[in-house]
Amino acid sequence: MQNSRRIILGYNSGVAFLITAFAAFMASGANAAEPIPWQMNFQPAATPVMEKIIDFHNLLLTIQVGIVVLVLGLMLYIIIKFNSKSNPEPSKTTHNTPLEVIWTVIPIVILIVLAVPSMKLLFFMDKAPNPEMTLKITGHQWYWSYQYPDNGDFEFDSNIIPDDEIKPGQRRLLEVDNQVVLPVNTEIRLLMTSEDVIHNWAIPAFGVKMDTVPGRTNESWIKVTKPGTYYGQCSELCGVNHGFMPVAVKVVSKDEFKKWAAEAKKEFAKAKNTPVKVVKMKSPAQAQLR
Amino acid sequence: MSETAHADAHEHHDHRPTGWKRWVYSTNHKDIGTMYLALAMIGAIVGTAASMAIRVELHEPGVQFITDFQFYNVLVTAHGFIMVFFVVMPALIGGFGNWFIPLMIGTPDMAFPRMNNISFWLLPAALILLVIAGLIDGGPGTGWTVYPPLANADFHPGMAVDFGILSLHLAGASSILGAINFITTIVNMRAPGMTFHRMPLFIWAMLLTAILLLLAIPVLAGALTMLLTDRNFDTAFFSPAGGGDPLLWQHLFWFFGHPEVYIMIIPAFGVISEIVSTFSKKPIFGYLGMAYAMAAIGVVGFIVWAHHMYTVGFNVETRAYFTLATMVIAVPTGVKIFSWLATMWGGSIKFDTPMLFAMGFIFLFVVGGVTGVTLANAGADQAFHDTYFVVAHFHYVLSVAAIFAMYAGFYYWIGKMSGKQYPEGMARLQFWVTFIGVNILFFPQHFAGMAGMPRRIPDYPDAYAGWNMISSWGAYITAVGAILFFVVLWKTLTSKETVAANQWGTGANTLEWTVASPAPFHTHEQTPAIGTQPAAIGTQPAE
């Protein structure tokens, strides 16, 4: 919690102070890894990648606010100074080469200033340097399945808990029956594919968002620095129940993870041959299109 | 206005059809332009209805009235297609382009008047096919991007997607014919003395748009045909099981799709340039820079398509290239913004409704433009991709900015087109209602997107309720603005108050202001005289 506050308060120091203060006020007292009402910022980072994304975005936002304020200021000045009442005689200036060179060169300089951290971030987030384990993720219409090749090679499906089964305190549209369990402070390689259409496995707090494409295997990685439960949603239109295939990841200590993996191996070995559970959402069209 | 008298004298010798034949058989650029504008208004009503249904559904968490989520996806798809192909393109390109290209370059009509007719009439046919697509077999719930495998026969059985493909084929053919006509007209039929470097910026914008259309639409047509054969004749261009690749579609689609967004916004640049110059009573600042900035945007627009695909699993070098190439676009765009400001600087500005919309355009385009720089970075985009932040970004630059350019162009030219004066007070009210409405509608979507809300979902986790409610209220305000627009349109067309040939005074010095208002059926029957300055062509009509 301490850490998350720091990140939110560190956001765009000074430039949009009111917004920041408001968001920090709204964020205080909330759990680390889900959207909260009236949130205006990113969810607090839980991985090094997301921390770097937030840092980079702070730089971007500072420059953007500056540009918008500059343009707005110039327009207000023009409105006050150069309306037909205060300035009845229009000037005849149509060229000013030094000025035109300046407003071409300054944006180029700004872009170079942005490009350097942008490239650093991009190459950092690409691949895990030393992955300690692998999680295989497969997208289906409309649920996820997960496989743990390094921890006993068991696999299971993860379905949404529909609205009519949601218990008080659970998060509507975000909770699943079988959460992914992963160890904290571990570099984990994510391998993703899809069995039918293109889906997208995304968790905002991890800074992970990767398409699962049939016929391809995509790679991403995470190293979660704080235990907790993290939520995301499918982020590529995948059909009728696109909005109803959430991602929920429970991050636990390494010991707890070992215990869970041993139990899960037994539990899901039994379940392997049972038919896929079909979750009934309210849409009558689902049955026809499945 | 000796020319008007001249045209009147010829009126009796015209063998032009009347009644329904005047419109169906029309080869007159003004009538065809009017029909394009009318079609865009019909499209706008349908497309806005779809977006209102979406916003009402998203007003609160949970299901409001759309119980069939396939129908929700069809609404999303229809909203996108209709707004792109049947509102923005017909209004800015077909409507204003047909009306004002011949008037501004001093020629009697388009180069190929009969082709102009078929290029218009393909479009209502396309719109009908699209509506049919939405009504049969569950409709196309694919989004306007139509990504396979979701758009394949396995996941969209039935004929809905096929009808959608045929609709886009017709709309594409219409655009290609129109583009050929525009290019031929602008290259060959300019009045003597109007060199390329003396064309009004609106003409530059239309020429560049037409070139983009001619290069981009055939790629879409090819991709659509491949999808059609995948669906119906067992080919496997996009199916991995048969050796194809779903990403091939995305590459082809966005190779068309990215230039397409410039096809929508470059005409808007042209309209805004004319209006800013007219109301500042100054020639455009940095004319050549403005023209070549648009050309640069058009060229670079063809080599940045994969920034729509950062999360498909590219290698990191590919994403690095597309990040850097995309950021380059900010430079010519910045040149345009600063040149508009410099045009206003030192001007003697009258803030009539067209100028209000033009200034609204500039501000909103800057807001949408800076978030574009954010999204250009593949690294940052991993957090933003497919969230409402993207929805906010492209609605600021396309929906809001392009529609502001359409409103601006309408108020600027309605006097020339109808000969009537629009009601200034009510028009200004319409500006303010729309300006406030769109900002309440789209600005909170940045926040929802940063908090993680994905696009294209019919229901959302309860935490996103606040900003969605605000956004929906903004949508209702914007809809009031749209209704006000139709009231203004009605009041204008039924008004008794007429306007002079040059209603905007000394600032308006392009050739369309030298002919009478309303512009006679045939104009420029005598070749007009052209001056020497780029933005001061034509004779100055007496005040």
Model pLDDT, residue B225: 97
User: What whole-number distance in Å separates Cα of residue A287 and Cα of residue A280?
Assistant: 9
Task: Decide which of B340 and A1 is more confident.
Answer: B340
Give pTM, 2 decimals: 0.91
Facing B331 at nearest CB: one of A43, A108, A283: A108
Q: What is the pLDDT of residue B5?
A: 47
Verify whether the Cβ–Cβ distance B323 to A122 is below 8 Å: yes
For the cut 80, the answer to whether the pLDDT of residue A12 exceeds it is no
C-alpha pair distances (Å), B178 with each of A161, A225, B172, B184, B209: 52, 57, 10, 10, 11
At A88-106, the pLDDT tens digits run 999 988 889 999 999 999 9
Residue B259: strand, helix, or coil: helix
Residue A17, Cβ density class (10 Å: 0-12 exposed, 13-18 middle, ≥19 buried): exposed
Q: How many Cβ pairs within 8 Å bridge chains A and B?
A: 310
pLDDT, average across residues A11-26: 42
pLDDT at B193: 87
Taking each helix axis as running N to C, give the angle between helix B160-188 and helix B96-105, from 0 to 180 degrees, rounded to the nearest 10. Answer: 10
How many of the other CB atoms lie within 10 Å of CB of B99? 24
- Tokens for B186? 């602008």
pLDDT of residue B12: 52
Judge contact between A252 and A181, C-beta under 8 A. Answer: yes
CATH class name, domain A133-289: mainly beta
Dist. CA B360–CA B431, nearest whole Å = 9
DSSP state at residue B514: G
pLDDT mean by block of 10 residues, chain B; 543 residues: 47 71 94 97 96 96 92 96 96 97 95 96 97 94 94 94 97 97 96 92 97 97 97 95 94 97 96 96 94 96 96 95 96 96 95 96 96 95 96 94 96 96 97 97 96 95 95 97 97 94 90 92 84 44 34
- Is B370 within 8 Å of A67 when comparing Cβ atoms? yes
Query: Vertex A70, ends A69 and A73: CA angle to 5°?
Result: 80
Domain boundaries, chain A: 52-126, 133-289
- Give B192 to chain A, closest Cα distance, Å: 24
A244: Cβ contacts below 8 Å, ≥ 6 apart:
A142, A160, A162, A173, A279, A281, B459
In this structure, are strands A180-183 and A188-194 parallel, antiparallel, or unpaired? unpaired
**Which of B324, B327, B461 shows the shortest C-beta gap to A35?**
B461
Chain mean position to CA B498? 29
B371 contacts B418 by C-beta, under 8 angstroms: no
* pLDDT higher than threshold 90 for residue A17: no
A39, A53, A88: residue with CB nearest B463: A39
Is beta strand A180-183 parallel, antiparallel or unpaired with respect to A154-158? unpaired
Q: Is B16 known to be catalytic?
A: no
* A155/chain B closest Cα distance in angstroms: 23
Calpha distance B448→B335 (Å, rounded):
31
In Å, how far from its chain's centre is CA B174? 15
CB contact under 8 A, A95 and B285: yes
Least CB–CB distance from B341: residue in A42, A74, A122: A74
What confidence tens digit (pLDDT) does each residue in A26-42 have? 444 334 578 999 999 99
In whole angstroms, how large is the CA radius of gyration of chain B? 23
Q: Supply the ipTM of this predicted assembly.
A: 0.90
Distances (CA, A) of A86 to A18, A42, A81, A112, B349: 35, 45, 6, 40, 9
**CB-based contact B518:B419 (threshold 8 Å):** yes
Q: How does residue A16 score in pLDDT terms, banded at 50, 70 and 90? A: very low
Do the beta carbons of residue B134 and residue B213 sit within 8 Å?
no
A122, A230 in Cβ contact below 8 A? no
Active-site residue (options: B23, B36, B99, B262): B262
d(CA B541, CA B1): 9
| A276 has a pLDDT exceeding 80 | no
If 0-12 CB within 10 Å is exposed, 13-18 middle and 19+ buried, where does residue B287 land? buried
3-state secondary structure at position B365: helix
Window from A202-216, A269-283, B101-115, B360-374 with minimum mean pLDDT: A269-283
- For residue B441, give both structure tokens: 């509608």
B379 alpha carbon, distance to own chain's centre: 30
User: What gap in Å lies between CA A269 and CA A147, rounded to an integer?
Assistant: 12
Asked about B144 being catalytic, the answer comes back as yes
- Please indicate whether, in this complex, the C-beta atoms of A118 and B323 are within 8 angstroms of each other: yes
CB contact under 8 A, B327 and A119: no
Distance of alpha carbon B308 from alpha carbon B455, whole angstroms:
14
Active site residue B281: no
- Return d(Cα B521, Cα B541) in angstroms, integer: 20
**pLDDT (0 to 100) of residue A271:** 61
Q: What is the pLDDT of residues B465-504, one digit of tens each?
A: 999 999 999 999 999 999 999 999 999 999 999 999 999 9
Give the Cα separation of B318 and B324 in Å (integer). Answer: 10
Taking CB atoms and an 8 Å limit, are A104 and B373 in contact across chains? no
List, in order, residues 6 or more apart from B416 with CB less than 8 Å away.
Answer: B103, B503, B512, B513, B515, B517, B518, B519
Q: What pLDDT does residue A34 have? A: 85
Q: Which of A16, A50, A62, A8 is nearest to B373 (CA)?
A: A62
Residue B192 contacts residue B524 (beta carbons within 8 Å): no
Identified catalytic residue from B31, B57, B109, B274:
B109
Q: Which two tokens stand for residue B227?
A: 């999808």
